Amino acid sequence: MDAPVRSWGGYPRVRQEVLPLSRRDAALPAGNGTLLAHGNGRSYGDVCLNAGGTLLHTRGLDRFIAFDPDAGVLRCEAGVLLGEILDLIVPHGWFLPVLPGTQFVTVGGAIANDVHGKNHHRVGSFGHHVLRLELLRSDGQRLECSAHEHSALFAATVGGLGLTGLVTWAELRLQRVPSPWLQAETLPFRGLEEFLALSAASAASHDHTVAWIDCTARGAAPGLFFRANALPATRAEPRRRRWSVSFTPPLSLVNRPGVRLFNALYRAVHAQRRAPRLCHYRPYFFPLDAVTHWNRIYGPRGFLQHQCVIPTDVAPQALAEILQRVARDGGGSFLAVLKQFGDQSAPGLLSFARPGITLALDFPLHGATTLRLLDTLDRVVADAGGAVYPAKDARMAGADFRRFFPAWESMHAHIDPRFSSSFWRRVTEDA
Amino acid sequence: MKRVLIVGATSAIAEATARLFAARSDALFLVARDAARLTQIADDLRVRGAVRVECASLDVCDFERHVAVLDQAERALGGIDTVLIAHGTLSDQAACQASVAALRHEFEVNAVATLALLTHLANRFEAQRHGTIAVISSVAGDRGRASNYVYGSAKAAVTAFLSGLRQRLWRSGVHVVTIKPGFVDTPMTRHFRKNALWSSPARVAAGIVRASDRGSSVAYVPAFWRGIMAVIRAIPEAIFRRLRL
């Protein structure tokens, strides 16, 4: 069926054939043009789109294959959601070592984008915990890939944006947790230097660290530093509250006064809860998942996220410049999130997470002005020797991508000739 | 722990329902044509918590084997508390209008095979004097429509049969539950354009489990289909015959 498919940011909107997959032992369907696996559509831009080609919808590949509750190893099909895994394993005392900001991503998507979490400084990215996976290639071969077998293809598939073929299943290493609860602490700070000091001080003592800053403020931005550790606790699980944005408003609800108000309220609410408190993992790791379709608040034109990473030594200046440009532009960002990555070597050729400070900003899409602002941010990132995250991107220039990911040329040896994406064509066609 | 037999276990609705049974540690016996697919589903259900899962491969049109497979299920589970019959094909209406062979095949799969299985099961459940027999019929069986009256009339036969069976087995303490799903987004309906009336197999599965637990008689899933079908049934033939549905 030919259908417009939205990625999470709602931009770009392109048409392609969509073919649902429902069994892992089936051959790849014929499809029109090139193929690309598409999981739950939580990538923000066009890494999960394939204009004029075919999307292989993988949510029908949602079976578990084997779970060893003694060793903490889980094998499942690629369309299983991380949240579905948690529902299964948490009662057995296990946890996923790496969780992104939403539980509604598939295992295949987490691998293809080599996602990271608030504990990157401790455990690295998702790909570090993939023991093996099966790759179905368009020539019909099924290759079991791991760090030991077909290791080059494995490194190209982790963070490989779905270009190396269809991941049918993966085997994941799990992490022991004492309970579903965390001891969470919130520390206010002002300015990037204070953030860096807190981050350095907490790296050894806390598993999970992340910060929020109010980028509507001028001067040294006020922020909140969140850190947490798992701890043993027995309490009834909190009720799963779900609100929903049930329709797309005709205009973005995210505007300048709204962003200011939100940021002020956010700061006020969290300033009340400074003392360490017990927090269930679900609201802690996935606060936005409580609001189904929250992306709709940005209206029909959608939004763009800009997530970059800057090497730590030049981060204060570069991030200050980015925040200044955003503040000068006046829009501000609904949520601005900071995190210091650890210095493990990345598991994938195109992995995004690397040593440095990452900053994520959301912008309602106001046409060319927004795109121009983001281009100027890319200049700052490039000059500082950083990188922009493909999973969040819908617009970076090809030349910038190739600079951020110098290994991109080695991908060619591993890309399946029938696989492609809107993103990949956009960033490599002018090379 | 319940001992559950599922016929047509590879259908999307049956698989979603089996996951709910597995999550509460039931024991399952799965029957379907495709053995490789059954194995994959069985592995999944074991991980999800089913205390045991066994499978048998059967083409429901192979009437000679019905008794043997039911015996095998009873032996494997040590008795059966709940049955879900979920096999079926979405008939190609145009093909059935052109060919009596196609028409007969659709009735064979969607009606006669179901009634045959129910005949064996009814006698066993009547003797054991407990249990629940849930069968997936369809809202399509409530009134024939030009677009799919072959499928609809086969399901109407199932619905009427179940109504009678329910009266008969009620005296023996056996519940017969008629499940009438509306539009469900499954591989069987892949080629349809979807709108707000469509629901997911998981939602239908939750409705099936609820109806089976309660021992409901007729369950529309989701429930709003009861209202829709009441309206559809109330339209006089003089008007209905002019409609395109």
Tell me how far apart the alpha carbons of residues A419 and B116 are, in angstroms, rounded to a whole number. 48
Taking the Cβ of residue B105 and every Cβ of chain A, the question of whether any pair is shorter than 8 Å is answered with: no
pLDDT tens sequence across B11-54? 999 999 999 999 999 999 999 999 999 999 999 999 999 999 99
User: How far does A263 lie from chain B, in Å, by closest CA?
Assistant: 36
**Contact yes or no for B47 and A22 at CB 8 A:** no
Residue of B nearest to A21 (CA): B187
B41, B43, B47: residue with CB nearest A88: B47
pLDDT of residue A3: 66
A1, A23, A66: residue with CB nearest B47: A66
Taking the Cβ of residue B194 and every Cβ of chain A, the question of whether any pair is shorter than 8 Å is answered with: no
Spell out which residues of chain B touch residue A23, defining contact as CB-CB under 8 Å.
37, 40
Spell out which residues of chain A touch residue B185, defining contact as CB-CB under 8 Å.
none
Spell out which residues of chain A touch residue B193, defining contact as CB-CB under 8 Å.
1
- Could you say which DSSP state residue A27 is in? P
**Strands B132-136 and B175-181, bridge-based pairing:** parallel
Taking the Cβ of residue B127 and every Cβ of chain A, the question of whether any pair is shorter than 8 Å is answered with: no
B41, B190, B193: residue with CB nearest A63: B41
Radius of gyration for the alpha carbons in chain A, expressed in angstroms and rounded: 21
Catalytic residue of the set B151, B161, B220, B225: B151
**Contact yes or no for A23 and B191 at CB 8 A:** no
Among A108, A43, A57, which Cα is nearest to A80's?
Answer: A108
Tell me how far apart the alpha carbons of residues A103 and A163 are, in angstroms, rounded to a whole number. 23
Taking the Cβ of residue A23 and every Cβ of chain B, the question of whether any pair is shorter than 8 Å is answered with: yes
Q: CB under 8 Å, gap of 24 or more: what pairs does B217-223 form?
A: B217/B166, B217/B176, B217/B177, B217/B178, B218/B177, B218/B178, B218/B180, B219/B177, B219/B178, B219/B179, B219/B180, B220/B139, B220/B180, B220/B181, B220/B182, B221/B179, B221/B180, B221/B181, B221/B182, B222/B182
Cβ A341 vs Cβ A116: under 8 Å:
yes
The size of the A-B interface in CB pairs under 8 A is: 31
Q: Taken in order A117, A118, A123, A124, is the CA torsion positive or negative?
A: positive
CA A425 to chain CA mean position, Å: 21
pLDDT of residue B201: 94
| CA atoms within 13 A of residue B148's CA, in its CB half-sphere | 17
pLDDT of residue A290: 87
Among A184, A209, A182, which Cα is nearest to A197's?
Answer: A209
| CA atoms within 13 A of residue A113's CA, in its CB half-sphere | 30
Taking the Cβ of residue A67 and every Cβ of chain B, the question of whether any pair is shorter than 8 Å is answered with: yes
Cα–Cα–Cα angle for A184, A200, A212, rounded to 5 degrees: 50
Cβ B219 vs Cβ B208: under 8 Å:
yes
Q: Return all residues near B239 (Cβ < 8 A) that are at least 6 apart.
A: none
CB atoms within 10 A of CB A373: 21
Q: What phi, psi does A404 have (nearest 5°)? A: -70, -30
User: How far does B134 lie from chain A, in Å, by closest CA?
Assistant: 24
Q: Which two structure tokens, joined as six digits, stand for A413? A: 């040896």
Helix or strand or coil: residue A359? Answer: strand
Give the pLDDT band of residue B188 (cuts 50, 70, 90). Answer: confident
Per-residue pLDDT of chain A (431 residues; tens, 9 = 90+): 566 788 999 999 999 999 999 999 999 999 889 999 999 999 999 999 999 999 999 999 999 999 999 999 999 999 999 999 999 999 999 999 999 999 999 999 999 999 999 999 999 999 999 999 999 999 999 999 999 999 999 999 999 999 999 999 999 999 999 999 999 999 999 999 999 999 999 999 999 999 999 887 767 788 999 999 999 988 888 887 778 888 888 888 888 777 788 888 887 877 777 778 899 999 999 988 988 888 998 889 999 999 999 999 999 999 999 998 988 886 667 779 999 999 999 999 999 999 999 999 999 998 899 999 999 999 999 999 999 999 999 999 999 999 999 999 999 999 999 999 999 999 999 98
Residue of A nearest to B34 (CA): A23
Taking the Cβ of residue B43 and every Cβ of chain A, the question of whether any pair is shorter than 8 Å is answered with: yes
Cβ B14 vs Cβ B2: under 8 Å:
no
pLDDT tens sequence across A15-26? 999 999 999 999
Q: What phi, psi does A186 have (nearest 5°)? A: -125, 125
Spell out which residues of chain A touch residue B37, defining contact as CB-CB under 8 Å.
23
Whether B147 has a pLDDT exceeding 90, the answer reads yes
Helices (H), A293-417: 315-329, 368-383, 398-404
**Contact yes or no for B43 and A65 at CB 8 A:** yes
The pTM of this model reads 0.94
CA A56 to chain CA mean position, Å: 20
Residue B151 annotated in active site = yes
Tell me how far apart the alpha carbons of residues A25 and A198 are, in angstroms, rounded to a whole number. 49
Among B139, B111, B117, B109, which Cα is nearest to B219's?
Answer: B139
